[in-house]
Copies of this chain bind each other. A is one copy, B any other.
Amino acid sequence: MAVRRPKAVKKARRGRPLKNNATPDMRERILDAAEDHFSRHGFWGVTIREVAQDAKVDTALLHYYFDTKRGLFDSVFARRAEIINRERIDSIDAYETAAGDAITAEGVINAFLQPILERAAQGDQHWHNYFALIAQVNNTPAWGGETMARTFDPVIHRLIRALRKALPDASEEDLYWSYHFLSGALTLSLSQTGRIDRLSNGLCKSSDFESIHHRMAPFIASGFERLCKPVAAPAVAVGRASARRAV
């Protein structure tokens, strides 16, 4: 990838200094502008000219820092991922230590969701944009799966390890599929398309992350438990097809 990046030197960098040390440097300005555009219109819906114009910078500077348009996109995607990944791992670690043997699926899932949903609830537009970007990548067939995996798999493996502890009877497949449902629900909720606003005729709001937060953890945890815990009596089959494939 070879994306050029000014080294974070302690002091006395050589060469021309950043244009204005009071303002955030231009590399960050470009990333901010790019994040804004990519999150709204996806990779192909954005031109580097729009980004450059928004960052008040010549288009050549984007190539100077990020080589290609794709390099810019990848940098945007990686930048905030590092932050939330660390937070989520710390959160799961902390919960696991605190809970000890009383570990529950809902507790784990809550620890996993909290850093993201808390940030979302705080209302920072930059993070909102970034979350919307994740949602799009997560549902992009061509290279979305690969990008998501490369960026987030370590955290998810950490999550699943904790869940395995809370749900010792769970099969690996059930855990992975359950996470997949969680992932879809979470990213859609973060994407703020306004869909639920219209559907509910204004009763629910895409931007109401508090509501999402206190509903999602129990909802998802309950799904995990249903799939991953041995049940005494299997539920009676309802409808035409649910009996078709009894496990």
Instruction: Give me the interface of A with B, judged by CB distance under 8 Å.
Output: 39-45, 94-95, 98-99, 102, 104, 106-107, 110-111, 114, 118, 132, 135-136, 138-142, 144-146, 148-149, 153, 156-157, 172-174, 176-189, 191-200, 203-204, 206, 210-227, 235, 238-242, 244-245, 247
Contacts and interface: CB of A to CB of B under 8 A. Distances in A.
Nearest to A197: B145
Looking at chain A's contact residues, the main secondary structure is helix
A196 B176 contact: yes
Q: Which of A185, A203, A212, A247 has the most CB of B within 10 A?
A: A185
Contacts of A196: 176-177, 180
A178 B183 CA distance: 14
Given A203-B173, A220-B181, A141 B107 contact: no
Contacts of A226: 218-219, 221-222
Nearest to A193: B145
